[in-house]
Amino acid sequence: MSLQKPSRLKGILVKGYQVASRPSKEYPYSALEKQKPFFKALGLDLYKYHNGTLNISIAPVGFKMSAPEFTFELVEWTDLHPPETFSFSRCKVRYEGNEYDGWIYYPHPETKKSHFQNPSLVEIITYEIPHIQYGDPVEIELNSREISIITPQAGQASGM
């Protein structure tokens, strides 16, 4: 996979809500496993990837999905809450000298009422990465035509 206009960010793997990968008190199932058929029907097949997300802190900067490759409006994937909007942008994750293709997974906060999402936290769907642990440094390569980086000083987005 080749990104049209790649930008690289350093980040740290952090613990997320863990609802994408397994049953939780919010969902009696893995949210991502339940969402994949909906995304596939809409044109994005994520079945080859791990049923979970990597949660990567890119603090102190944040990000904004400015022109993602896919946006799926108001997907009715569960009866536990109202429909949600999701955006996706291709990316790569680099860890210990290896590179993994994947997708930045962005449940739009305005339609996702149950979880606060830090704007410095990037969720990525990718392959299972052996030996990765919370606190490990990673590098993300993203398409700067689709994702803007927000610097804390100016509070403004940049295409990098």
Residue 72 has a pLDDT of 97
pLDDT values of the chain reduced to their tens digit, one per residue, 160 residues: 555 566 899 999 998 755 554 455 565 556 888 899 999 999 999 999 998 899 999 999 999 999 999 999 999 988 888 899 999 999 999 999 999 999 999 999 887 766 567 889 999 999 999 999 999 999 999 999 999 999 876 544 555 4
Give pTM, 2 decimals: 0.85
The string of DSSP letters for the chain reads: ---SSEEEEEEEEE-----SSS--SS-SS-HHHHHHHHHHHTT---TTS-SS-EEEE-TT-EEEESS-SEEEEEE---SSS--EEEEEEEEEEEETTEEEEEEEEEE-GGG--S----TTEEEEEE---TT--TT-EEEEEEETTTEEEE-TTT--EE--
pLDDT, position 22: 45
What pLDDT, on the 0 to 100 scale, is given for residue 6?
A: 63
Domains of the chain: 6-158 (2.40.30.30)
* pLDDT number for residue 121: 93
> What pLDDT shows up at residue 115?
59
Note the pLDDT of residue 160.
Answer: 44
